[in-house]
Amino acid sequence: MSNRTPGSRTTRRRFLYGAGVTTGALALGRHAAAQSTKKTDLVMAQSGDISKLDPHLSTAGFDVTVTFNLYDHLVSRRRDNKLYPSLATSWASLAPTTWQFKLRPGVKFHNGDPFTSADVKFSIERTYDPQAKTNVSTIFTSVDRVDTPDALTVNFITKKPDPLLPARLAFYGGQIIPKKYFEAVGADEFNAKPIGTGPVKFVSWRKDDQLVFDAVPDYWGGRVNFNRLVFRPIPETSARVAALLKGEVDMISKLPPDQIEQVRNHPSTKVESALFAGQYVLAVNSKRPPLDNPLVKQALSIAR
């Protein structure tokens, strides 16, 4: 059982560490790291644009960095790699196959709708619903059903003992979406105009240009200390690093090892690192030529 309580304010540094858990090495301008009160916008450059704003339709690193801040999880994992309360204030194993989560009262989605256990049930069951065709369908396969005894209680009944369920709820697939809004607008509109309970809310997205969010003034975890968050895709590593060193962006992700010293030694930038709570996978699509030819795959295997 957990009874930890979060801090009363979501600082810029804490926000950046949240992104760092999904992105590994981060490079920051010192005014960002110092939580400057003069700068009201935070601009982050990634090596590519996002593909989806619906958190259950992608596990790509670019997308997860965004969706982990637009949506909340029941449980969150911080830089110390420990689990902390988020939308759930506590959790306990009531039986070998039963986990109970007590939810945080008073939380609202970005459109003002209240967050309840119905949203948790809807979100988790959607991940493994064949009709939803999500990219996270294998995350909660141990779950037999999700019960909601009341608006602030959720019981996960698992097919067999699952001691890692709280940890999985803190990673992709565990983002909670609003049942009422989603059912009202449908999957396509939700992906175009998403709503969560996170510290930032969606404003606009211009593909391959910029993705914009505004701070949520009454966020339950405390308002972030910037007004606007902008994600910019800059695929070229040298251009991304140059933008940071020039002060054109406040933060970049996936800093290559051979660039660390240059950024670290620059007077206006610094490097922060965070343990990556996942894995990168290189997969082969055997349905597309020439990889549909077994001889090509054998040759690649020998060449490595």
Distances (CA, A) of 285 to 59, 168, 290, 291, 293: 17, 27, 10, 7, 11
- Calpha distance 85→104 (Å, rounded): 9
In Å, the largest CA–CA distance within the chain is 60
- Return the residue matching tokens 């790509």: 60
pLDDT tens for each residue of 132-151: 999 999 999 999 999 999 99
Would you tell me how many other CB atoms lie within 10 Å of the CB of residue 237?
15
CA dist 36 and 138 (Å) reads 42
Here the tokens at position 123 are 């979100």
Pairing mode of beta strands 26-29, 41-46: unpaired
Instruction: Compute the mean pLDDT over every residue in the chain, rounded to the nearest whole number.
Output: 88
User: pLDDT at position 244, please?
Assistant: 96
Output the CA angle 276-281-286, nearest 5 degrees: 165
Distance CA 138, CA 223 (A): 34
Angle at 199 between CA 74 and CA 53, to 5 degrees: 80
pLDDT tier at 36, thresholds 50, 70, 90 = very low
What band does 45 get if pLDDT is binned at 50, 70 and 90? very high
What are the DSSP E strand ranges found in 162-262? 200-206, 210-215, 228-233, 251-253
Query: pLDDT for 276-297, tens place per residue?
Result: 666 667 777 888 999 999 999 8
Judged by average pLDDT, the poorest of 58-62, 119-123, 137-141 is 58-62
Q: Which domains does the chain have, with CATH numbers?
A: 1-304 (3.40.190.10)
State pLDDT tens for residues 195-211: 999 999 999 999 999 99
Which residue is associated with the tokens 């968050």? Answer: 229
Question: Is the pLDDT reported for residue 77 higher than 50?
Answer: yes
* 245, 269 contact by CB (below 8 A): yes
Q: What are the structure tokens assigned to 216, written together?
A: 């949520």
| Cis peptide bond N-terminal to 163, omega within 30 | no
Percent of the chain with pLDDT over 90: 74
Q: How many whole angstroms separate alpha carbon 144 and alpha carbon 139? A: 13
Side-chain-side CA neighbours of 257 within 13 Å: the count stands at 0
